[in-house]
């Protein structure tokens, strides 16, 4: 593959809670992370609405839409949609939404 094609296939993913760690994604989920940056998304807030496993993981975080809210996390650039599928197979029960992330360090808008 050429570099331009590889760059074109890359996708952004937003991680919150336990999914803000590059090591967690790479080692436990087998996902290839190209780069990452702290980021936020407006119009969403993190809530713990999904019951977890007592004494192991008491609750699971999710983002819910709420006007005026801001959710903080990490933006991960992944090599392709195939990497997103790896996350989805491990993290079931979530609905995906297209959002604009804002990178803290540059103010750059990232389509996720």
Model pLDDT for residues 75-90, shown as the tens digit of each residue: 999 988 888 888 877 6
Contacts (Cβ under 8 Å, ≥6 apart) of 12: 75, 76, 77, 78, 101, 110, 111, 112
Domain count, the chain: 1
Q: What is the pTM (predicted TM-score) of this model?
A: 0.81
What tens digit of pLDDT does each residue of 25-50 get? 898 888 999 999 999 999 999 988 76
Contacts (Cβ under 8 Å, ≥6 apart) of 71: 16, 40, 41, 44, 45, 46, 63
Which of the residue ranges 13-17, 19-23, 83-87, 99-103 has the most confident prediction, judged by mean pLDDT?
Answer: 99-103
| Spatial distance between the Cα atoms of 34 and 109, rounded to a whole number of angstroms | 17
> CATH code at 7?
3.10.490.10
- Which residue range forms the structural domain that includes residue 13? 3-111
CA distances from 25 to 55, 69, 106 (A): 23, 26, 24
């Amino acid at each position: 593959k050429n570099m331009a094609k590889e760059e074109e296939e890359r996708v952004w993913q937003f991680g919150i809670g336990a999914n803000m760690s590059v090591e967690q994604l790479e080692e436990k989920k087998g996902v290839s992370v190209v780069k990452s940056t702290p980021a936020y998304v407006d119009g969403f807030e993190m809530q713990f609405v999904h019951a977890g496993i007592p004494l192991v993981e008491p609750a699971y975080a999710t983002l819910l839409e709420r006007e005026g809210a801001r959710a903080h996390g990490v933006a991960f650039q992944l090599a392709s949609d195939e990497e997103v599928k790896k996350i989805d197979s491990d993290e079931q029960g979530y609905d995906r939404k297209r959002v604009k992330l804002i990178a803290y360090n540059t103010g750059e808008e990232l389509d996720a």
